Chains A and B, each alone.
Chain A
Amino acid sequence: MLKVIGGFFAGVVVVGLLAYNYMGSLMFREVVSPFGEEETVARIQQNIQNVGNGWALSGLRNPGKAVEAAGGNTLPVMMIEACSTKYSGPILKDDTVRFLSILMPCKVAVYKKNDGKTYIGLMNAGLMGKMFGPMVGEIMGHVAQDQAKFILFDPSKPAPEMIKGMPGAPSGGSGASAPGGC
């Protein structure tokens, strides 16, 4: 009997450890881009603008620039910020989940690694949303569907221009005054 209970708890611990270990990779996704960094950014921006559902670009932040300004080097990172008031509105109106505003605006990171390739980092919005009740879960499910479209590329189309300055936003980040910003 003792062995059975011991085994059960050992199993629980193992599963817990595994879950803890893989949680990071479940919450976030990373995919290799077939394009260079700037082109990846530009194509994702174009996709965001074409996906509908109220999505608008709200900023292009480069955290690497801050490191550079402090005198240090880092491989470049470009963070595309986008927002859909259709999705953010209901969450922001509900006091119980208002704290989820820390996830806004929706971000897609484009960065280079030491292998010279460009990567796209995304949040697994669908899974994350499920943890916060049915309303958030449903909204985040839609966000996840749209997000998947952000990184669907059509290589036959010419590379669009990267959109650096956001309307009303200072360069380097989305400001509170950005109309598209959430």
Chain B
Amino acid sequence: MSEHIYVFKRFERFWHWSQAMLIIFMMLTGFEVHGSYHLFGFEKAASLHTVAAWTLVSLWVFAIFWHFTTGEWKQYIPTREKVVAMIQFYSIGIFQGAPHPFRPTTLKKHNPLQRLAYLGVLLFIGPLLWFTGWFYLFFGDWKAWGVDSYLSLEWVAFFHTAGAFMMLAFFIAHVYLTTTGHTPTSHIKAMITGWEEVE
């Protein structure tokens, strides 16, 4: 038997999808600025990348506010509980049709591996991109900030690119793992409607 529970609130869904689009768009434009291919042209790619960055910044301001006022930030507190069970499920159980070891609830909507992965994105990949992106963007102000002797654009770009590759890898895995719910589309439906179908 399956039932439906409400896991993703309206703002959360809005945040997720707008963020998803912005990140995809920033990867697309970012790797063009990086010189990996030609799509928009350097000038447009660079300027669109910046526009998207500022849009994402404002989205994040709201998201951070929302997470703290609603207490939803607790969803990302890591736990060791069921981690092993989750790994076993992804590597073995899923092929045998074993039941999902984690049952999302409104209070615990992410499985333990999701918690770890999202925390990694939020606390490591994100900040790495934000931090290096900030210095990349304000290259002309390094002297005024007194940091010009400590930084080189080459290394700022290096870490920004490294963050981008990590984000790309996360993105690929993330998109695939959305199909590993109760049914292949139940996670995706949940992120669209808010209601997740669970066993």
Q: Do any CB atoms of chain A lie under 8 A from CB atoms of chain B in the complex?
A: no
